[in-house]
Amino acid sequence: MNSREVLGVILAGGAGQRLYPLTKEQAKPAVVFGGTYRLIDFTLSNAVNSNIRHIFILSQYKSDSLHRHIHSGWNLFASELDEFITILPPQQRINDQWYSGTASAVRQNLYSINGFRPKYVLILSADHVYKMDYAKMLDYHKKMGAEITVGAIEVRPEDTHRFGILQVDADQRITDFVEKPKNLTACRNGGCPVASMGIYLFNIDALNDVLARDIKEELENDFGKDIIPSALRTRRIHAYQFIDENKKRAKYWRDVGTIDSYWEANMDLVAVDPEFNLYDSDWPIRTYHPQYPPAKTVFAGGKDGRRVGLVLDSIISNGCIISGGRVQNSVLSFGVRVNSYADISQSILMEGVRVGRSAKIRRAIIGKNVIIPPGALIGYDWAEDRKRFTVSENGVVVVPEETIIRPASLAAELGRSSGLSHVVSAPFKKREIASILPS
C-alpha cells in the first residue's frame, strides 16, 4: 500500500449510551478494554499495521480522556515525513450543528479531508475489537473497480437486528442494504446473513458526491441508514468479506456496544486458549502504559492457611497487588489492590479499585477508583444490586467510577445517629469513609 494515497478517518464521537454508566465521564472509544487498552487502540493498531500513516480522529462527546490518551500513547508518527494522527472536533464549517451521525461527522470535515488530497478515504469505527489488514481491503477495492467498498462479516440470524445487513450478488456487489432489520427470518444469500462492519472505503470523488446531497440541511446523517442505501442506485458498491488476522479457527469481530457484549468480550481474553489473541507479536496492539511498578501477589497461607494471594485465568495489569485475596477469570486494570480473603470472579476492575477484606465480587464491572468496603457483596443478589447500581439484562452489575460504597456497619451507625430505622448502603463521598477503611 502507498500510504500517501489513503487517508484514514476514525469516527470517535459516539456517546455510547448503551454502555452507560461506563460512558458517564468519557466517550465510548476511550473505555478501557482488556485491562490496559482503550477501545480505539484496536482500530488504530489495525491502521498502523496496515501501513496507514495519515489519520483523522473525529471526536465529540466528552473527549478529554480520549484526547489525552491519543497524545500520550500515539505520538509515534514522523511529522517530518508528513505522517500524522490529528484529532478533529466538530468544526461547524457547514452550519452551527454538532455531529448528528456518522455521515454528518465526515461531511463536516470534508474541508480537511480534501485538503490532504487522498485518492481513497477509509472510514472506520473506533469501538470494535478485531484484527484486520486494511491493505488487503484496498487491493480488493482496486481489483473490483469499486467506487465504495463495505467491510462485511457473516452473523447469526438472531443478531441481524443489531447490524446493517447486506444483500450481495455472485460478484459480491451489494444490491440491497437494510439497517438493523427487526424481522429477518432467513437469508436470501442462502447462507448466514452478511452484516456491515461499519468500515467504508471510498474513492474520494464518490465520497464527495454522496455527501454533497442535502449538504445544507444535512438530511442524510448516517452511512448505514442513509448514504449506502441511496448510493446503490448510482455507485458501484462491493462487499469485502472480512479476513481475520487473529489466527484463530473462528473469525473474531466484536461490537461491544452494550454492557453485556463488553463484559463477554473481556471474558473472551482470559480463557486458557483465548478467542482473541493479545499476544501475537506479528500483529501488535499498541496503547499508552502509565508508569506503574510490576504486579505482584503477597501472602502464601498465613496462620489459618487461607490467606493466599492467588490469581487464576486472569489478566493482571501493572501496579496491581493481590494481597491475600483470590482473583479468578477476571480482568484487572492498573493499580488495583485486592485485600485478604477477598474473592473476585468473572469481573472487570478498572484502574485504582480497592477491594476490602472478605469482600466478594462476581460478574461485575467496577469503575475507576471505586472503593469496595470490607465484607461487601456485589453480584450475589440482583435485587439488592439494582437498588444501588446498574444491572444489565444478563445480570452484570456495573458500579460507576469514583463510587465509594457505604459499609453495612456504617449504614447502621448513621441510621441510629439520625433516628432513622433504615439507611441504604449507597454510594457516598470519599471524605465520609476514608478514615474507616483498612490500609
For the stretch 205-264, pLDDT in tens is 999 999 987 554 455 588 988 899 999 989 999 999 999 999 898 999 999 989 999 999
Domain regions of the chain by residue span: 3-267, 296-436
- Using 50 as the pLDDT threshold, list the residues of the chain that sit under it: 216-217, 409-439
CATH topology of domain 3-267: Spore Coat Polysaccharide Biosynthesis Protein SpsA; Chain A (3.90.550)
Q: Is 99 annotated as a binding residue?
A: yes
Give whole-number Cα distances, 115 to 151, 197, 276, in Å.
26, 27, 38
Query: What pLDDT, on the 0 to 100 scale, is given for residue 185?
Result: 53
Q: Which helix (H) or strand (E) holds 204?
A: helix 204-212
What percent of the residues of the chain are helix, what percent strand, and what percent coil, each to the nearest 5? Answer: 25, 25, 45
Q: What is the pLDDT of residues 254-308, one digit of tens each?
A: 999 899 999 999 999 999 899 999 999 999 999 999 999 999 999 987 777 789 9
> What is the side-by-side order of every strand in the sheet holding 404-405?
296-298, 321-323, 337-338, 354-355, 371-372, 404-405, 427-428
Is residue 149 within 8 A of residue 124, CB to CB? The reply is no
* Closest among 186, 227, 235 to 206, alpha carbons compared: 235
Q: State pTM to two decimals.
A: 0.89
Q: Are 253 and 242 in contact, with CB atoms under 8 Å apart?
A: yes
- The packing angle between helices 64-73 and 40-49, to 10°, is 30
Is residue 196 marked as binding? yes
| Cell triple for 282 | 506479528
CATH 2.160.10.10 fits 296-436, yes or no: yes
- The answer to whether 179 is annotated as binding is yes
DSSP 78-119: -GGGT-EEEEE----SSSS----SHHHHHHTTHHHHHHH--S
In 112-163 the beta strands, taken as DSSP E runs, fall at: 120-125, 128-130, 148-154
Q: Are 387 and 424 in contact (CB under 8 A)?
A: yes
